[in-house]
Structure 1
């Protein structure tokens, strides 16, 4: 592998990792209930939405943007995800994935339960 090819390969491997770490830091900085909601959506998307590394990084960065803006605006979690968090997550993912994925009922229920818990928590750290 030439130096140019090697540096491109390294950039592809490190780039998404740096972006992932930056996203995780942003998610961790959210107030507790928003962080709970983001983590629930993240878990759902990671397991059931097929994407490449760049799309994955963009998807999670946009998720962080959305929740950071909601915190700044005082938008409640239900104001972001609506009454059906699975529908929200599936619609959100369609922007980053070409195909749908089979999502087991248990994963849909877990996301719904996690968002319900987060929506009912008081905002805080």
Structure 2
């Protein structure tokens, strides 16, 4: 392999890893409730992410941008994702890819994780404002 091709190949492999690490570092800096929500949506979006590494990175960078802005504004989780986090995640994913299918188990897990992140007391339907 000529040196130019080798350098290009290495840059393509390292670039997405650097972007992923930078994304994860940004997620780690979010308040706990927003971080929990981003991680839940992230897990769900893994069913939809495109093959292209640049599009994949853009998806998650846009996700953390949204939650960083919401955290800075003091926006509660439910105002970001609404009452149906599965619908939120699927609409979000549609902006980046045509593929993917989320099984029922992934949909339930996302809904449960967002409920926990939003501070909804299990079974009561009331929101815990202290979260």
Instruction: Normalising by structure 1, report the TM-score.
Output: 0.92
Which residue does 2:106 correspond to in 1? Answer: 107
Q: Does 1:63 align with 2:73?
A: no
Which residue does 2:23 correspond to in 1? Answer: 23
Shift of 1:2: 1.0
CA distance in 2, matches of 1:102, 1:57: 19
Q: State the structure with bigger RCO (CA 8 A, min sep 6), 1 or 2.
A: 1
State the secondary structure of the residue aligned to 1:30: coil
RMSD (Å), alpha carbons:
1.1
Shift of 1:53: 1.0
Which residue does 2:40 correspond to in 1? Answer: 40
State the secondary structure of the residue aligned to 2:30: coil
| Residue-by-residue CA offset, 1:64-103 (whole Å, 9 max, x unaligned) | 100000011111101110010000000001111123x221
CA distance in 2, matches of 1:102, 1:62: 21
| Residue-by-residue CA offset, 1:26-72 (whole Å, 9 max, x unaligned) | 000000010000000001111x1141211110000001100000011
State the secondary structure of the residue aligned to 1:59: helix
Give 5+ residue unaligned stretches, structure 2. Answer: 120-127
Give 5+ residue unaligned stretches, structure 1. Answer: none
Structure number with the higher helix fraction is 1
Runs of 4+ residues deviating >2 angstroms: none
Which residue does 1:117 correspond to in 2? Answer: 116
CA distance in 1, matches of 2:63, 2:49: 16
